[in-house]
Amino acid sequence: MIKREIGSDFYLSRSETGSQQEAGPLALELSLTDRRYLSSGRQAIRYCLRDLGAVPKRALLPEFTCTSVIQAFLQEDYQLAFYPLDRDLGMTSSQLIEEAQKQAARVLLFHPYFGFDSLEMDQAFPEDLVVIHDASQSFASNLSYPGVDYRMVSIRKWGPFSDGGFCGKWTGPFRDQGQLPDDREVNRLVQEAYALKAAYIEAGQGDKASYLDLYRQALTLLSGREGLYAMDPQARDLYLHYDWEAMGQKRRANYQALLAYPRWSDLGQLIFPQLDREDLVPLYFPFYVGAGRRDQLQAFLIGRDIYAPVIWPCPDYLKMRGVSPQVARLYQEILVLPIDQRYGRQDMERIHQALDDYLEGEVKDLV
Ligand SMILES: Cc1ncc(COP(=O)(O)O)c(C=O)c1O
């Protein structure tokens, strides 16, 4: 069947129904002392925060982050402070520790970006700082940092799982938070959207608007959830049977194929210009688009059925507070290309061609 689109929401294609054999969670996940599977990443963060008991509710988060990370802390009544990042999204643990002390934060959440190791550990985290490693963007990369208390992931970002968040603890068992129900409503909507999208993409049946509407409804419900829910059993089963090895290889190969595009300097600037470590699995291919051209390039790519999202738009909460100039530039200029396991060499060549055509068009406009 024709793959009409590159990017956009996952759906359960025929090639992705998992293997008979249980692959189990990744080794890193098994090395934690306790684990929980929730409906979403934000709920996994909240599960960790609820585990803490009577810690003063003041947290330090990255300035470059997702609305739902901020939302999770606000739902648990935290006051927030933010730390800046450099233009390559890098930071050192000593900077984070210093900032946490300055801001009197007792909880720190950090996330390595897009699958790369963007935290340099030049100082051990102190015992009295609760540290959450949000591995939502680096779930399949072999990254672990000493002195971290919790690891969490938005599993939903990595494949056709109708919901899913993970949290684990390095320092003993979680406190009992009772049995959580699964989120039938959200999962029903997403599973229906998957089925409609599969019919549309693989058999040319139905229309796009109907599954997009279901995805939207599901996301709206998920964002409004006040309670915590367990991961859907069907989604969890697929997760445990998923071929992570093949996923990692495909993403790495696609990333390398885009790195080989010869005209990046005409378009903007790469953020991670090398993928040299074998144990890193990228989430997307991020780059800065030269000033003022992002929306235009994004629209051009949509015209070619290539969906390059902005990860992330600036959360309203941070728009009001303001961010450092380098993070403001990130929010204004970042665009990411899809490189996930659904795609291969031909798709990446299609992206090369589309980028060439975009640049040609710009040259024509100038003459
Ligand atoms: C880094 C990061 N952490 C946590 C989350 C929250 O995950 P979810 O959308 O599954 O609640 C997101 C969502 O985009 C994220 O990007």
Q: Cα 345 to chain center, whole Å?
A: 23
Answer whether 162 contacts ligand 1 (Cβ < 6 A): no
Count of structural domains, the chain: 3
Q: Same domain, yes or no, for 252 and 327? A: yes
Q: Same domain, yes or no, for 206 and 118? A: no
Question: Do the strands 165-169 and 150-154 form a parallel or antiparallel pair, or are they unpaired?
Answer: antiparallel
State how far the Cα of 281 lies from the Cα of 252, in Å rounded to an integer: 6
Answer whether 165 contacts ligand 1 (Cβ < 6 A): yes
Q: Same domain, yes or no, for 250 and 282? A: yes
Q: Same domain, yes or no, for 22 and 162? A: yes
Answer whether 69 contacts ligand 1 (Cβ < 6 A): yes
What one-character-per-residue DSSP string does 259-300 give?
HT-TTHHHHEEESS-----TT---S-EEEEEPTT-HHHHHHH
Answer whether 40 contacts ligand 1 (Cβ < 6 A): yes
Give the phi and the psi of residue 167 in degrees, each rounded to 5. Answer: -140, 145
Q: Please report the atom of ligand 1 found closest to the CA of residue 44.
A: 11
pLDDT tens by residue, the chain, 367 residues: 445 689 888 887 766 665 666 666 677 788 899 999 999 999 999 999 999 988 899 999 999 999 999 999 999 999 999 999 988 999 999 999 999 999 999 999 999 999 999 999 999 999 999 999 999 999 999 999 999 999 999 999 999 999 999 999 999 999 999 999 999 999 999 999 999 998 888 888 998 899 999 999 999 999 999 999 999 999 999 999 999 999 999 999 999 999 999 999 999 999 999 999 999 999 999 999 987 899 999 999 999 999 999 999 999 999 999 999 999 999 999 999 999 999 999 999 999 999 999 999 987 776 6
Answer whether 141 contacts ligand 1 (Cβ < 6 A): no
- Atom 8 in ligand 1: residue holding the nearest Cα: 41
Using only C-alpha atoms, what is the Rg of the chain? 20
Looking up tokens 């109708």 gives 162
- Atom 1 in ligand 1: residue holding the nearest Cα: 136
Helix (H, G, I), strand (E, B) or coil at 79: strand
- Pull the structure tokens for residue 322: 């303001």
Last residue within a domain, chosen from 159, 192, 224: 224
Q: Cα 14 to chain center, whole Å?
A: 24
Question: Do the strands 107-110 and 130-134 form a parallel or antiparallel pair, or are they unpaired?
Answer: parallel
- Pull the structure tokens for residue 58: 């003041």
Mutate-to-test residue for ligand 1 from 68, 158, 228, highest number of ligand atoms within 8 A of CB = 68
What one-character-per-residue DSSP string does 30-76 give?
HTSSEEEEESSHHHHHHHHHHHT-S--SEEEEESS--HHHHHHHHHT
- Pull the structure tokens for residue 111: 């996330």
Q: Give the structural domain span for 219.
A: 184-224
Q: Is 175 domain-assigned?
A: no
> Residue 78: what residue type?
Y
